[in-house]
Structures are given as C-alpha cells and as structure tokens.
Amino acid sequence: MRNSPLSQWKSWWITHSIQIMNQEIKLLDTVALLRAMPNENLKKGQVGTVVEVFNDEDFEVEFVDKQGRTIAMLPLKSTDLLVLQYELERA
C-alpha cells in the first residue's frame, strides 16, 4: 500500500522541523526571522545577522536596511530564527 500524499507531507514536515530545531546558531550567522514582530517593524522572513551569542538558546540579532543602516537589534530565541545556508551541505 502506498503512502498517501498527506502522510508523505507529514513525514517531510517532521523531518524538516527536527532539522530546524536542532540547528546550531553561531556568531555572524545569517538568519531569517520565523515570526513577524510588528512592534519592531520586522516581518516574518526578515534577514539579519547574529552579533552576540548569549547561550545555545539566546542571541542578539541585527537587522539592517539596504543601505546598511540598523533597523533593529534585539535579543531573540533560537526558536525565532532559521539559519540560512549559502552552500550545499551533504546530509
């Protein structure tokens, strides 16, 4: 019996969610914001740079505009961030 599209999607989602949750965030990593922060004028998907690592869960992230001016610099949890990859890594 073949897996249904729904069960295939669930399997894919679980695998990728675990990978996101287990990501290692390092100083100067480029990250994307996983939730909107309207009070800070930041949208979901906004790209920033990790400028301070407090511990495995807490980071200071700077968000800049196209001219390099700081839009916001704020402490965020690892669950708010997705590390962006520029090079293909073998699994």
Kindly state the DSSP code that residue 71 receives in the 8-state scheme: E
* Spatial separation of the C-alpha atoms in residues 4 and 75, rounded to whole Å: 41
pTM, rounded to two decimals? 0.72
How does 44-61 read in b/e, with b if 16+ C-beta sit within 10 Å?
eebebebeeeeeeeebbb
- Domains in the chain and their CATH numbers? 25-83 (2.30.30.40)
pLDDT at residue 79 in the model: 92
Torsion angle defined by CA atoms of residues 25, 46, 36 and 32, in that order, rounded to the nearest 10 degrees = -20
Inform me whether the pLDDT recorded for 14 exceeds 60.
no
Tens digits of per-residue pLDDT, 39-86?
999 999 999 999 999 999 999 999 999 999 999 999 999 999 999 987
